Amino acid sequence: MTHRTKIMGILNVTPDSFSDGGKWISEKALDERIDQLIAEGADIIDVGGESTRPFAEPVRVDEELARVIPAIRKIRQRSDIPISIDTTKAAVARAAIDAGATMINDISALRQDPEMLAVVRSFDGPVVIMHMQGTPGDMQRNPQYSDVVAEINDFFTERICWLDANGVDRSRIIVDPGIGFGKTLEHNLTILRNIPAFKEHGCPVLIGHSRKSFLEQVLDIPVDERDSPTALVSVFCAQQQVDILRVHDTRSTVQALVLHNVLIDLP
């Protein structure tokens, strides 16, 4: 039996995300994007209302709520698919859960908003904790590590112990090494080459590599040509038993993983 890697389809309802900012703002476009993600085989839809691209500016709570809550309600009207809310703000996470979200994806690993812990404790769904050196506003200025894998794992150990001590069971936690979040090209490649190392915590591993700038650095291609390389990296991750892949183009990654699984199951 092959390892089942789940696909988290990205729904950015933002005007300024690095690869699809503004594309899903109109009601018609949003409806079509939701239907597309479901039809193409996403296992989870990750809804985000604040860009976390390098040097991004923060978004007000009321503005983020106005972006994500209608999208979550639209998804829930159509499907019982798991919905992840991609936010660092407790007020947004709380409203998203009330609207039908079933999972919290916090790039700050509950470090930014002290009220986020109470929200996580108020429901029983999964929570993603991501490693990031710095903040979106400064993370790519000069990221440095003596051992990027060891330092990320030390971070996860501290966060998991803290969550456990505060009433959040390890079984709910998903770890994300944070490709592109305070990492150079070599850091990103080292993370991808060493995915099994992040399994030591006994938590599912999420990788968010989709369309990111390391693909441009390796292949010298613009953002609108990165879906096929993203799908190739997705297969590489699946071979290392990544549990969740967060991608923009669900179709290419789903097809790549179906073909991969058929091939490795051949006698």
Q: pLDDT by residue for the chain (267 residues), tens digit each? A: 457 899 999 999 987 544 444 555 678 888 999 999 999 999 999 999 987 766 667 789 999 999 999 999 999 999 999 999 999 999 999 999 999 999 999 999 999 999 999 999 999 999 999 999 876 666 567 788 999 999 999 999 999 999 999 999 999 999 999 999 999 999 999 999 999 999 999 999 999 999 999 999 999 999 889 999 999 999 999 999 999 999 999 999 999 999 998 888 754
User: Does the residue 1 lie in any domain?
Assistant: no
CATH code at position 77: 3.20.20.20
Burial class (CB in 10 A: 0-12, 13-18, 19+), 144: exposed
User: Does the residue 219 lie in any domain?
Assistant: yes
User: Does the residue 141 lie in any domain?
Assistant: yes
Domain residue limits at 202: 6-264
The pLDDT, as a whole number, for residue 135 is 67
Take residue 255 and report the two structure tokens written for it: 């097809």
User: Does the residue 58 lie in any domain?
Assistant: yes
User: Does the residue 86 lie in any domain?
Assistant: yes
User: Does the residue 200 lie in any domain?
Assistant: yes
246 catalytically annotated? yes
User: Does the residue 260 lie in any domain?
Assistant: yes
**Among 33, 212, 226, 251, the one annotated catalytic:** 212
User: Does the residue 43 lie in any domain?
Assistant: yes
**Among 67, 94, 211, 246, the one annotated catalytic:** 246
CB 90 within 8 A of CB 116: yes
Q: Report in angstroms the alpha-carbon separations of 35 from 31, 42, 78, 106, 201.
A: 6, 10, 8, 25, 35
Give the chain's domain count: 1
DSSP string, 56-116: PPP--HHHHHHHHHHHHHHHHHH----EEEE-S-HHHHHHHHHHT--EEEETTTT-S-TTH
121 catalytically annotated? no
